[in-house]
Structure 1
């Protein structure tokens, strides 16, 4: 049984992660999922270690009230890295929280994948090196993102944008067969 620690802290990440879990379960029966979940991931039968709703902090006032909860959430996830020992950590968006977790997982020898490249092309391009040190594979929404990581120690793969999947003609969607993940 392959263990995947999957983490999404925001509603958009929850939707992406839930759809990926459903697709992976359809393709493989030997996968076990646990992680930082939202309602859609829980509906997809991902064992919840913590709620994504508790991990997200939007404003300064909210940050003061949720700082302890967010720290406990990160601690719980780090404990899962040590105790549950997943084969793969898959983080979705929320880079300020989840790339910290990914960096710690990578140091433990756990394969790390981050879905939704931070927009380094728009904000702070120097972050690419730090991102590459945190993850083994980066799943990118935009085709212009993988070249930004060329020459760095990370595999950056264009997987497409879910909003485009909803508006593209069916014949174009059918050509996409890869999730970008190779498990085991």
Structure 2
């Protein structure tokens, strides 16, 4: 009998990674049976279980409390659907708050499947107690950096380093072809706008990034803004874009890598996308804003790192400028962008810093999804 593996993702980034792992699983074990609870990318690659996690992505204490009853219900529904499908392994992708609860529900219900967490919480930056929680409810962690392993292994959780999935994406990207396809003339300066992938980010972070783009375009007539739409918030961003007066185009996720390759500078919400941008050579200006209650608690009790951007954490310095909370203003963000556009030496220096940070983040030298698939098949 072929092995049965269930993969679960609750956010767009997890859905994309899940689809990559599914492709690798199929390549290595064509007879493996795969089921998913996830978004469009995973659902198009494997059979879906009858649970929808749309709109589950929440961020921050207050947002989490508001969604708590829904999270509990979806955890129960997902656990019941998984138990009925009788898998050999369950792969829980990213989305800490939902996935640890699902792992706990599966274990307490006596589901025999191996519980494998794909990407762990960033305990090196905040809330180190999560490592102990994960070790209690999961059997194995697939982590993206070797420096993460000791945080989890001290509690007895086995780990495998797969590398950063973002570093293996978009190798075939062609920024010049993207610019030509969209009719940009040779003197056009392309500035990226990455406003976030969660509803809370669109509410809190996107408006400041958009105002910064207005200020940049107000001072540089040669700039065109390219906004890449994340699947989970596309309709919200399109509605906002209807009021933008600066030169811009909106592009879908399918054009993401080529769009990134065309960008000189990108104004980005902190997240996985910053690593993907750096891998394509775009100089990044990072912004982020949490709810005030969440921010106050994080600053007082939870945060362990000076930086929130993984590039900067890996570099041990501000490889890319980041503005958080009160420092995150349209004027500061626009000023950082304009400095890079106006000063070729500053642009080259930042790209060099970002490249060194990426080298520090480099994993085992093979695609992360391939290593993840091998480990999952070994454990299932």
Q: TM (normalized to structure 1)?
A: 0.84
Q: What SS does structure 2 have at the residue aligned with 1:55? A: coil
Aligned ranges 1:102-113 → 2 under 5 Å = 102-107=103-108, 108=110, 109-113=112-116
| Distance of 1:42 and 1:159 partners within structure 2 | 23
Give ranges in structure 2 of 5+ residues lacking alignment. 170-278, 280-357
Aligned residues: CA RMSD: 2.7
Residue 61 of structure 1 and its aligned partner are, at CA, apart by 6.9
Q: What SS does structure 1 have at the residue aligned with 2:15? A: helix
Aligned ranges 1:42-81 → 2 under 5 Å = 42-58=43-59, 60=62, 64=66, 69-81=70-82
Give ranges in structure 1 of 5+ residues lacking alignment. none
Q: What SS does structure 1 have at the residue aligned with 2:54? A: helix
| Distance of 2:151 and 2:65 partners within structure 1 | 32
Provide runs of 4+ in structure 1 moved above 6 Å.
none
Per-residue CA deviations over 1:52-105 (Å, capped at 9, x if unaligned) read: 3243334757974x6555444222211123322211111000111111111222
2:122 paired with 1:148: no
2:88 corresponds to: 87
Asked if 2 retains the 8 angstrom alpha-carbon contact of 1:34 and 1:49, the reply is no
Q: What SS does structure 1 have at the residue aligned with 2:8? A: strand
| Distance of 1:62 and 1:121 partners within structure 2 | 22
1:99 corresponds to: 100
Classify 1:62/1:142 alpha carbon distance in 2 versus 1 (closer, same or farther; 3 Å): closer
2:308 corresponds to: none
Classify 1:174/1:139 alpha carbon distance in 2 versus 1 (closer, same or farther; 3 Å): closer
Q: TM (normalized to structure 2)?
A: 0.43
Residue 18 of structure 1 and its aligned partner are, at CA, apart by 0.7
Per-residue CA deviations over 1:158-177 (Å, capped at 9, x if unaligned) read: 110012223489xx845875
